[in-house]
Amino acid sequence: MNNMENLYRQVIMDHYKNPRHKGLVNDEHYHTSHIKNPTCGDDITIQSRVEDGIVKDIRHEGTGCSICCSSASVMSEVLIGKTVEEATAILENYLNMLTNKDFDEEVELEDAIAYSGVRKFPARIKCASIAWKAFEDTLKESE
């Protein structure tokens, strides 16, 4: 039978219903990345502002499933205030966790650990990673 409870954890539902840092800004200090998953219609835009090597702000906007939309919100909460190095380490660990690769358990994923259940739903890995990949793009742009 279904083991959906592993996927739809409380943290995920909370961020889905009450997204943090939602809405884009019109500010040249932000770098923007827009990713679309045309098969399911997920469509996410991520903005980030990096100053002095620190992630000062992350904004997000888009449409998609609960896993996709909530992960953008969770990511913004987890990564704002981190140095670029810390954020990059968390990002790599998070993506490795989703895809069942080895990951460094020393790196604190904070609330993003709620997505560990996604591993058991391979068809949903894309949903959980799209916002993080978009953030990764904005980092590359700000280099």
Partner 1 sequence: MDANRIKKDFQVFEDETLCYLDSAASSLKPDRVVDALIDYNKKYGVNVHRGVYNLSYVATEKYEGARQIIADFIHASFEEVIFTRGASSALNMVALSYGMNEVNKGDEILVSELEHHSHLLPWQQVAKAKGAKLVYVPLTKEGRITIGHVKKVLSEKTKVVALTHTSNVMGYVTPIKEIIQLAHEVGAVVSVDAAQSVPHQRIDVKDLDADFLAFSGHKMLGPTGIGVLYGKKKLLKDMAPVEYGGDMIDSVEKFASEVKDAPYKFETGTPPIGEAIALGEAVRYLEELGLDNIAAHERELRAYTIERMSEIEGITIYNPCVETGIITFNIDGVHPHDAVTYFDGDNVCMRAGHHCAQLVTRWLDVVATLRISFYVYNTYEDADQFLASLKGAVAFFKSVGF
Q: Given the rule CB under 8 A, which residues bind partner 1?
A: 1-5, 7-8, 13, 17, 39-42, 63-68, 121, 123-124, 127
User: Which ranges of the chain would DSSP assign to H, the alpha helix?
Assistant: 10-17, 66-79, 84-98, 125-142
Nearest residue (CB) to partner 1, 120 versus 140:
120
Least distance from partner 1 to the Cβ atom of residue 4, Å:
6
Pick between residue 72 and residue 90 the one whose CB is nearest to partner 1: 72
Closest CA to 136 of 87, 81, 74: 87
Nearest-approach distance from CB 127 to partner 1, in angstroms: 6
Name which of 13 and 25 has its Cβ closer to partner 1: 13
**CB crowding 77-89: b at 16 or more within 10 Å, else e:** bbbbebebebbbb
